Amino acid sequence: MIEVRKLTKRFGMKTVLRSLDFHVEPGEFVALLGPNGAGKTTFLRILASLSRPSMGEVKIASYRLPSQAAAVRRRLGVVSHLPLLYGDLTAEENLIFFGRMYTVANLNRRVSEVLELVGLSARRHDLVRTFSRGMQQRLAIGRAVLHDPEVILFDEPHTGLDQDASLMLDNVLRQVAAMGRTIVMTSHDLARSADLASRFDVLSRGAIAASVRRNEINPNDLLAFYRRAIQEN
């Protein structure tokens, strides 16, 4: 579903990603772990077609980036730590707007389905700026899945959420994963990732330092695995 070969990204003289290789099968839920500055957000922005690679090959659902970016974007949903929503529009208006941008069929029905999925049906007519951070993040997931994409990218979605809001977000994430969508999620939170993902990749100094599937590791050993990968790279 996602194929990345020898991906390099430079900002001026600074190299953020170094000949990175990454491969994700359809339906996998990959947690991309790594310290601050490892290049996780830059990598996700390239996958989301928001940033151009300096070198290397990126393919999503067999479409190449950046040359076939529109086809990739049609198959992609993105949730970042910012909600990417308009505070002065209601929850419903936000979804209708993004639905129009994605040419979603039967839009009103689909908006109702998505609001139901993220548990915000009762607040559909409320302005997004009146929502708590957790509610905004759930609506952001609704925006990302509105057009039913094959691949969903989550960039540290739990940032700034309290414990209850994080648990609610986890439930929504599990529901999205259960739909068989391919998910890549960057995170600092190893315990939360261990609970959600089917594979764990460690990104360190701009390259994948280690990768392990959930059935190959005891969740209690994930921290040791992570530390070893960072130290060895």
Least distance (Å) from another protein to the CB of residue 145?
9
Q: Which of residues 16-45 bind another protein (CB under 8 A)?
A: 45
Whole-Å CA distances, 167 to 58, 134, 174, 219: 33, 10, 11, 18
Distance (Å, whole) CA 231 – CA 61 = 33
* Cα angle for residues 94, 59, 184 (degrees, 5° grid): 55
Q: Which of residues 80-139 bind another protein (CB under 8 A)?
A: 80, 82-89, 93, 97-98, 100-106, 110, 127
Q: What per-residue string of b and e applies to 199-220 under the rule 16 or more CB within 10 Å gives b?
A: bbbbbbbbbbbbbbebeeeeee
Based on CB atoms, which residue is closest to another protein, 37 or 219?
37
Least distance (Å) from another protein to the CB of residue 180?
9
* DSSP 8-class letter at 127: B
Based on CB atoms, which residue is closest to another protein, 34 or 99?
99
**Which amino acid does the sequence have at 139?**
L
Least distance (Å) from another protein to the CB of residue 87?
6
Instruction: Decide: is 75 part of the binding site for another protein (CB under 8 A).
Output: yes
Instruction: Decide: is 52 part of the binding site for another protein (CB under 8 A).
Output: yes
Phi-psi region for residue 61, left (φ > 0), alpha (ψ -120 to 50) or beta?
left
Among 40, 123, 143, 199, binds another protein (CB under 8 A): 143
Based on CB atoms, which residue is closest to another protein, 5 or 52?
52
Among 5, 21, 50, 130, binds another protein (CB under 8 A): 50
β partners of residue 76: 151
Based on CB atoms, which residue is closest to another protein, 28 or 150?
150
Least distance (Å) from another protein to the CB of residue 116?
14
Q: Do 213 and 45 form a contact (C-beta atoms < 8 A)?
A: no
Residue 187: burial class (beta carbons within 10 Å; 0-12, 13-18, 19+) = buried
User: Contact residues for another protein (CB under 8 A)?
Assistant: 45, 48-52, 61, 70-71, 73-76, 78, 80, 82-89, 93, 97-98, 100-106, 110, 127, 143, 146-150
